């Protein structure tokens, strides 16, 4: 089995943010050495390749450190905002064209988001299985992430912001999104039109 990993296009932002914090003196070498293995420290000094896979556990450690320094005590909110901004950047850069496409036109809101989420999650992660459950309510649906035991809460909340952005874009109106981990291997996002 391969190591649960994230694609370089998603890993790069936390890598760059941590380097800015190091340059600004907000993160010390001692902090890095206390949290990261020798291999992870070496990885931090290397150039990020957009098409390469990076261990999700390393990404989680870097993201946790960045959030600790930036969140001002509101970790979950900070991570969700970070996911939203990441989706915006990817759409603006045209990296994942699905974020602005009419792919799935004529389908329900949930089905269109399901189509988008399944495509993008497969491009970003080499593990997890994403699906959407539409309970028959046109204003609510659930995004379900299975095989998610390695999808740490730092990833969960960042993905929550990403899904919120995509669902808002497709709804043409604000949405509310919450998440829960009913089992160690499953995450459920509930998305509602605001």
59-108 pLDDT tens trace: 999 999 999 999 999 999 999 999 999 888 878 877 555 555 555 556 77
Q: What is the mean pLDDT of the chain?
A: 90
Please write the tens of the pLDDT for every residue from 119-160.
888 889 999 999 888 777 778 999 999 999 999 999 999 999
Q: Which of 118, 82, 112, 83 is nearest to 100 (CA)?
A: 112
How far apart are alpha carbons 189 and 177 in whole angstroms?
7
Looking at CATH, the fold of the domain delimited by 76-193 is given as Muramoyl-pentapeptide Carboxypeptidase; domain 2 (3.30.1380)
How far apart are alpha carbons 60 and 92 in whole angstroms?
25
Burial letters for 91-107: b for 16+ Cβ neighbours within 10 Å, e otherwise?
beeeebebbeeeebeee
Confirm if 144 and 188 have CB atoms less than 8 A apart. yes
Pick left, alpha or beta for residue 122 (phi over 0 → left; psi -120 to 50 → alpha; otherwise beta). alpha
User: What local confidence, expressed as pLDDT, does residue 11 receive?
Assistant: 95
pLDDT higher than 90, residue 42 = yes
Pick the residue with more confidence: 137 or 12?
A: 12
How far apart are alpha carbons 171 and 185 in whole angstroms?
29
Residues in the chain: 194
């Amino acid at each position: 089995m391969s190591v649960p990993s994230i694609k370089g296009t998603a890993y790069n932002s936390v890598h760059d943010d941590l380097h800015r914090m190091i340059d600004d003196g907000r993160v010390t070498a001692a902090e890095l050495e206390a949290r990261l293995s020798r291999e992870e420290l070496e990885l931090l000094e290397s150039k990020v390749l957009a098409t390469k896979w990076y261990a999700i556990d390393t990404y989680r450690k870097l993201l946790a450190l960045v959030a600790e320094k930036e969140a001002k005590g509101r970790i979950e909110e900070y991570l969700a905002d970070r996911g939203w901004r990441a989706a915006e950047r990817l759409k603006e850069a045209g990296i994942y064209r699905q974020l602005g496409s009419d792919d799935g036109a004529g389908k329900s809101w949930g089905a269109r988001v399901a189509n988008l989420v399944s495509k993008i999650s497969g491009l970003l992660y080499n593990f997890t299985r994403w699906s959407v459950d539409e309970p028959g309510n046109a204003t609510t649906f659930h995004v379900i992430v299975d095989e998610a035991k390695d999808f740490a809460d730092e990833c969960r909340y960042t993905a929550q912001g990403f899904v919120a952005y995509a669902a808002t874009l497709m709804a043409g109106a604000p949405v509310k999104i919450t998440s829960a981990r009913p089992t160690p291997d499953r995450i459920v996002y509930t998305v509602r039109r605001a």
